[in-house]
Amino acid sequence: MKVLANDGISQTGVDNLKAAGFEVITDKIEQGELINYINENNIDVVLVRSATKVRKDIIDACPGIKIIGRGGVGMDNIDVEYARDKGIHVINTPAASSASVAELVFAHLFGGVRFLYDANRSMPLDGDTKFKDLKKNYAEGRELRGKTLGIIGFGRIGQEVAKIALGCGMNVIACDPLVDNATIKVEFFDGQFIEMEIFTRPLEEVLKQSDFISIHVPSQKNYVIGEKEIESMKDGAGIINVARGGLIDEVALIDALESNKLSFAALDTFENEPSPAIKVLKNDKLSLTPHIGAATKEAQDRIGTELAEQIKRILKAV
């Protein structure tokens, strides 16, 4: 059987599948060429990340597909229910990348409170001539310890973010209509751990009380954070979105940064991905990454292994 990993798969996953007798193809096929390629090459399994879309047109035109897999959590680029109605298995790896995404949140958060997003732009340009000026510009950093982190969406990733925050000495509050409470286990290198129970609160309360906001929800029809929500946040707060583009109204976000309502923001995902708005890219209060939340070697190894195990289990049962 043939597996097309169109957005790539770790070598661990490739080796796992090959050892089970699968042919693994990692060539990148353009979206418009997928139907022909899948049919001409008798592809049984299509694996994607966020770049490739598997919609009704592909599902209808490629009756040989047995499994569609998403290397990651969200499956908004796949017509999941439609595929399942057609008898196709749809799989993903919801837990494999949680730790990597959570660590990226704190990469942005540490960088935000110490102006690293701007210092890394300015130092190569002016560090040799305006060193003292830059030092003065970045002199009013903040510590995370003792600050309140509000987490919007308290599923696997939100809870991983909470673990790191608690380890940093932060107060954690969260909102999620599907989660009433969660026990957060913070584990240490020597096997010791602490546990804390966190009860979720209304969104309005989280917005008003948080020094920083981190968003961890699936794609939505409407903005989660718009002008009204930003206005209710603390003056000087920071906000981070490494979840999905379109959760924050980027026009309202830029206005809030320029008016100093917000001190900084960080985006790993964008409304117009993969062509973010120029105003977003050029704003000097934004910390930016190109949708790399799950892009660690460890996460990709876990994703590849989990996909391979699910594929083997399903197709052995067919």
Give yes or no for a contact between 251 and 281, defined as CB atoms under 8 angstroms apart.
no
**Of 49, 244, 250, 306, which residue is the catalytic one?**
244
**Structure token pair of residue 43:** 């592809």
d(CA 154, CA 8): 29
Annotated catalytic residue within 23, 205, 273, 309: 273
Q: Is 160 a catalytic residue?
A: no
Mark 252-273 as b/e (b = at least 16 C-beta within 10 Å). Answer: bbbebbeeebbbbbbbbbbbeb
Query: Cis peptide before 274, with omega less than 30 degrees from 0?
Result: yes
- Looking from the CA of 264 toward its CB, the CA atoms found within 13 Å total 19
Distance CA 97, CA 92 (A): 11
Closest residue by Cα to residue 74 from 248, 223, 309, 242: 242
Q: How far apart are CA 197 and CA 123, in angstroms?
A: 43
244 given a catalytic annotation: yes
Is 216 designated active site? Answer: no
Residues 3, 24: contact at Cβ < 8 Å?
yes
Catalytic residue among 70, 291, 302, 306, which?
291
At position 60, the amino acid (one-letter code) is D
**Three state DSSP letters for 80-142:** HHHHHHCCCEEEECCCCCHHHHHHHHHHHHHHHHCCHHHHHHHHHHHCCCCHHHHHHHCCCCC
Residue type, 88: I
Closest to 4 (Cα-Cα) out of 49, 41, 47, 40: 47
Catalytic residues: 244, 273, 291
